[in-house]
Structure 1
């Protein structure tokens, strides 16, 4: 089995960035996805350039923080903050033209860093929301990169980064027996979603998921890789 450990939220805080780099240098993390509206994006880009072996994708955002595109109306409030949150499925569908405009702005901001774009995923997996499915596939095609597996894209395997996504390495699911769990998945190529960090005050102030990131980092740096696994 091929396994890609991806670290989400690259660029959120310096502690998150440092934790991701630590889990890459001394652990199993092979890629990270950069959220272009994060407060520590410049710090993340510099760190990634010091470690060119780390594959970096984009963590498209529509449910946290401020938009990058200044010319938006319906998908942001008066301060430019996105109107959607993690419970987006209970809310109205965003304007697709404005969403595409913002996401392309984020994509172009990523490319302007000079980092090679590895793949696309999103904060809270919103790229897997059925109303945004065609937009996600269009971006993948236009930018010629694969997309994180989500159920709504299962029928478009040619666009997918892996055959499956493991999201249970999170919260109470952060345990060192992850390979035992992955072995039960009927897939040859799996992505594991992770959130390693050195928890800092900035993270505690802006994220409801903070302290478990320390445990994630420690476990990701101590895992023993079975002989049936190839880390990507």
Structure 2
């Protein structure tokens, strides 16, 4: 089985980025999804250039503040000038196409300025909104691959990859519904049950039966901004520890799991394995 390990919320803050980088350098992270609207965006873009074997995704939540002047995109922001979707993603349906297009274009130009290129991939929600139509247009104009994996929705129905990527058989299990839900409990004893290591070693997502699996976590360290914005809290630090754990690395070796990045999956390259070879890692597939 080939495994992509994605770190979501990269770019949250510099402190959060520190945890993501820890999981890249000493763990098994092979891809990141970066946010372009949060305090750590530029720090994240500048630092990830040192890790060319990591593929880059465009994080789609829009939780922070726009790059453009809020007065130019009134349908997207609240009275504080921040994106209005932090607690209700359905509000994206109220957005005007031209405003979303302009903001997304500004985000891609920021990425080019600091990273030298646009993200490799993105996920577009097929919900008929002008918001997602504008994002799709940006992906097509900048050559960003989108909707390349299949996954179940929250009702268990399979959302299939775009036709041109179905033969790749990239599968993403519905981890938020099966793993992260314990982090939202008011009972600390429930939250303490959260274990990314067990998710893999007990094969809770039936990963070993798949050709290529994409799993997503949120490894990062905490500061006041992250703690005040996110319900995941300490789960982020747990993710750093888990993705760096020797137990998980031993499972990868024992099960002959081949770690790859997203570009490897799309283009049949060996970037991540070549990186493991260059550092003489025991995780290199034999």
Structure 1 and Structure 2 fold alike (TM over 0.5): yes
When the two structures are aligned, how many residues end up with a matched partner?
Answer: 227
- Kindly state the Cα deviation for residue 165 of structure 1 after the two structures are TM-superposed: 1.8
Of 238, 253, 264 in structure 2, the residue corresponding to residue 215 of structure 1 is 238
Among residues 244, 259, 284, which one is paired with 1:231 in the alignment?
259
Instruction: Name which of structure 1's ranges 150-159 and 166-175 shifts more when overlaid on structure 2.
Output: 150-159
Q: CA RMSD in A?
A: 2.8
Q: Does 1:177 align with 2:177?
A: no
Does the C-alpha gap of structure 1 residues 29 and 110 become closer, same or farther in structure 2, counting only changes over 3 Å? same
Greater shift after overlay, 210-219 or 158-167? 158-167
Return the offset for 1:162. Answer: 6.7
Change over 3 Å in CA distance of 1:199–1:79 after alignment to 2:
closer
Tell me by how many angstroms 1:80 deviates: 2.2
Q: CA deviation at 1:153?
A: 6.4
Q: Which has the higher contact order (CA 8 A, sep 6+)?
A: 1
8 Å CA contact 1:157–1:163 kept in 2: the answer is no
Among candidates 179, 191, 195, match of residue 214 of structure 2 = 191
Q: Which residue pairs with 1:203 in the alignment?
A: 226
TM-score (norm 2): 0.68
The answer on whether the counterparts of 1:93 and 1:131 sit within 8 Å (CA) in structure 2 is no
CA contact (8 A) 1:204 1:210 kept: yes
Larger radius of gyration: 2
Shift of 1:118: 4.0
Q: Which of 143, 152, 160 matches 1:154?
A: 160
Contact 2:12–2:39, Cα closer than 8 Å, also in 1: yes
Normalized per residue, the structure richer in helix is 2
Is contact 2:46-2:115 (8 Å) kept? no
What are the equivalent positions in structure 2 for 1:1-232 lying under 5 Å apart?
1-62=1-62, 64-70=63-69, 71-89=72-90, 92-121=93-122, 127-128=124-125, 130-132=127-129, 133-147=132-146, 149=149, 154=160, 156-158=162-164, 163-168=170-175, 169-170=179-180, 172=182, 173-179=194-200, 180-184=203-207, 187-222=210-245, 223-224=248-249, 225=252, 226-232=254-260
Cα distance in 1, alignment partners of residues 140 and 165 from structure 2: 8
Q: Distance in 2 between matches of 1:167 and 1:188?
A: 16
Contact 1:167 1:193 in 2 (8 A): no
* Of 30-39 and 183-192, the range deviating more from structure 2: 183-192
TM-score using structure 1 length:
0.82
Shift of 1:86: 4.4
SS of the counterpart of 1:74? helix
Relative to structure 1, is the Cα distance of residues 231 and 155 closer, same or farther in structure 2, using a 3 angstrom cutoff? closer
Q: How far off its partner does 1:170 sit?
A: 2.8
Say if 2:32 and 2:56, in contact at 8 Å, map to a contact too.
Answer: yes
Structure 2 residues without counterparts, runs of 5 or longer: 183-193, 261-286
Unaligned runs of 5+ in 1: none
Q: Secondary structure at the match of 2:238?
A: helix
